[in-house]
Amino acid sequence: MSYSTAGLSRTVTLDDVRGAQKMLSGVARTTAMEGSRHLSQLVGAPVHLKCENLQRTGSFKLRGAYVRIAGLLPEERAAGVVAASAGNHAQGVALASSLLGVTSTVFMPKGAPLPKISATQEYGAEVRLHGQVVDETLAAAQEYARQTGAVFIHPFDHPDVIAGQGTVGLEILEQCPEVRTIVVGVGGGGLAAGIAVAVKELRPEVRVVGVQAEGAAAYPPSLAAGRPVALAHPATMADGIRVGRPGDVPFRIVGDLVDEVRTVTEDQLSAALLLCLERAKLVVEPAGASPVAALLAEPGSFEGPVVAVLSGGNVDPVLMQGVLRHGMAAQGRYLAVRLRLPDRPGALATLLGALSVVDANVLDVSHVRTDPRLGLTEAEVELHLETKGPEHCVEVGRALRDAGYTVMG
């Protein structure tokens, strides 16, 4: 049985979410709710972090995947399931299938990070690498479903998946009954839709705010058009919310129940990830940090208490290194400069001495002595520096110029 639209017109109700919560008892963890003093001071009201990054498989995706697969008929289970994902949904489907005794095949892009591929295999799925982008991978998974009869498990566009994700909303109301605003990242919309169904029925006055990456924000134009609109080339480091088109089922719910969808920049995502790591001691992927990015962007626009949903923590170590550098640069704590100096013994040591006077920490030095652009007695140096913030960056630049160096960038 392949993926079809049969049953997708069914709405998702609070009873569905409560049923999903019972089904997930003993399967999904009730994840921690951690207070953030730093964010609370910025917002001017209590801010709590809902730590789905600490969920089994490292994200909320297990909830929806388990509910969807558990609801299959015996003959559908016997045919197995298939999914397409670059990471979080893959792991959720793999573990859910293993727990339910169902064979799973997961298609992943050829460029998927090795830790995510390994984790998916370890949870029990057969992994097939296909395509360079998720759209190609998705097509391959759907073709596999047509050929084999396996059930395609969509990452967000199914009522059962949305009901499973909605259990996050029930937990938020139990853990923080005084909540006034819930901020959640949005890709296809399954998590935001599920939370909104659960919360709006029980506490209609609570605001639900969705957050999308600026380069992959399909919801604002879709909501304006009144129908799902596909983006030609969604682009963001936050692969967990890099979705080019809203799902049909979550789109209707988000349009009816989610109060607002905001966007954040890559710089804001980087800064949010860095803050989660440094201040909250939590490893969070860029998509999971998107609610924190929204709080950092406009802290005075949220009524508290606020709950920010950290939806996942599966971040590739290589990406983490780059994002942390990007986040430090966005906060003025990482400075790259190029300058020229005389090509003579001791010139580099003199330069480093000038930097030590202003307490700039040198992370990396690139020293070029042979280049057609350089004069016969010149050398070019590129420095990567750790600084203390924007004001310190200005101070470092001024010190270099005062010492007679021409800063080129």
Whether the pLDDT of residue 327 is over 60: the answer is yes
Identify whether 311 is a catalytic site residue.
Answer: yes
| Rounded average pLDDT over 200-209 | 97
Which one of the listed residues 50, 59, 61, 85 is annotated catalytic?
Answer: 61
Tens-digit pLDDT profile for residues 137-171: 888 999 999 999 999 999 999 999 999 999 999 99
When mean pLDDT is compared across 45-49, 193-197, 249-253, 326-330, the lowest value belongs to: 326-330
Provide the pLDDT for residue 9: 53
Highest mean pLDDT among 84-93, 278-287, 293-302: 293-302
The residue with greater pLDDT, 265 or 4, is 265
- pLDDT category, 317, cuts 50, 70, 90? confident
Which pTM was predicted? 0.84
| Lowest-pLDDT choice from 69-83, 127-141, 237-251, 276-290 | 127-141
Mean pLDDT of the chain: 89
- pLDDT of 6 reads 44
* Region of poorest pLDDT, from 147-156, 223-232, 318-327: 318-327
| The pLDDT value given to residue 148 | 96
The mean pLDDT of 25-42, rounded to a whole number, is 96
pLDDT single digits (tens) 52-66? 999 999 999 999 999
pLDDT: is 189 or 337 the higher one? 189
In the predicted structure, residue 377 carries a pLDDT above the cut 70: no
pLDDT tens for each residue of 285-300:
999 999 999 999 999 9
Does residue 263 or residue 333 have the better pLDDT? 263
Work out the average pLDDT over 402-407. Answer: 80
The confidence score (pLDDT) of residue 3 equals 39
Single out the residue of 192, 194, 111, 93 nearest to residue 152, CA to CA.
Answer: 93
pLDDT band, very low/low/confident/very high, at 2 (cuts 50, 70, 90): very low
For the cut 50, the answer to whether the pLDDT of residue 1 exceeds it is no
**What pLDDT sits at residue 376?**
62
pLDDT of the residue at 8? 53
| Contact call for residues 21 and 64 (beta carbons, < 8 A) | no
Residue 369 has pLDDT above 50, yes or no: yes
Catalytic, 61? Answer yes
* pLDDT of 95 higher than 90: yes
- Percentage of residues of the chain with pLDDT beyond 90: 64
Task: Determine the pLDDT at residue 62.
Answer: 98
Q: Which of 1-15, 79-93, 107-121, 171-185 has the lowest mean pLDDT?
A: 1-15
For the ranges 37-41, 268-272, 380-384, which has the lowest average pLDDT? 380-384
Residue 5 pLDDT level (bands cut at 50, 70, 90): very low
Alpha carbon separation from 164 to 14, 80, 232 (Å, rounded):
11, 20, 30
- Dist CA 157 CA 295 (whole Å): 28
